[in-house]
Amino acid sequence: MADPVMDIAAIVNLIPHRYPFLLVDRIVELVPGERVVGLKNVTMNEAFFQGHFPGAPVMPGVLIIEAMAQTGGILAYHAVPEAKGRLIYFMGMDKVKFRRPVVPGDQLLMELTMAHKSSRAWKMAGKAMVDGKVAAQAELTAAIGDEY
């Protein structure tokens, strides 16, 4: 695998999410204003596996979408200069589909592309894959909020 464009230290320097809700470990590709590719290593140590589901751990679909949104947020912070130092709020999800379960040991590869951008809001199309197979896909809308 190629060297990361952003490692975890750079990610936590940019987005406000922290444990247990930081769901992107590395950015491997970033074309500002156009495209981002991020990784999430899914381990049995994730707190949500205690209850989802005992004996048959599956990453909740909403957390897969959140991981995609955080990856997309990194794209947004690079695409919209006035977003730096401000919160980015999730506004909507469209065309969400879950295609396969994500389980401990999987590496989630999240690819998002900018579909529409204005000065305060944008829409991204994305997919999350495991071993080259789509696990989830969605169109995500977000907006710039308050300073953090």
Question: What is the distance, to the nearest Å, from the Cα of residue 96 to the centroid of all Cα atoms in its chain?
Answer: 14
> CA angle, 42 as apex, 49 and 135 as ends, to 5°?
95
Q: How many CA atoms lie within 13 A of 38 on its CB side?
A: 29
Whether 52 is catalytic: yes
Residue 89 pairs with which residues in a beta bridge? 143
Distance of alpha carbon 69 from alpha carbon 115, whole angstroms? 14
Q: What is the pTM of this model?
A: 0.94
Given 17, 52, 78, 116, the catalytic residue: 52
**Mean pLDDT, the chain, whole residue set:** 94
DSSP secondary structure letter of residue 82: G
Condensed to tens digits (0 to 9), the pLDDT of residues 32-52 reads 999 999 999 999 999 999 999
Condensed to tens digits (0 to 9), the pLDDT of residues 56-81 reads 999 999 999 999 999 999 999 988 87
Average pLDDT of the residues in 81-88: 84
Distance of alpha carbon 39 from alpha carbon 11, whole angstroms? 12
Sketch out the chain's domains with CATH numbers: 8-147 (3.10.129.10)
Q: How confident is the model at residue 1 (pLDDT cuts 50, 70, 90)?
A: low
Check residue 148 and give its pLDDT: 74
Distance of alpha carbon 49 from alpha carbon 60, whole angstroms? 9
| Other beta carbons less than 10 A from residue 63's beta carbon | 18
Residue-wise burial string across 14-28, b where 16 or more C-beta atoms lie within 10 A, e elsewhere:
bbebeeeebbbbbbb
Average pLDDT of the residues in 4-18: 95
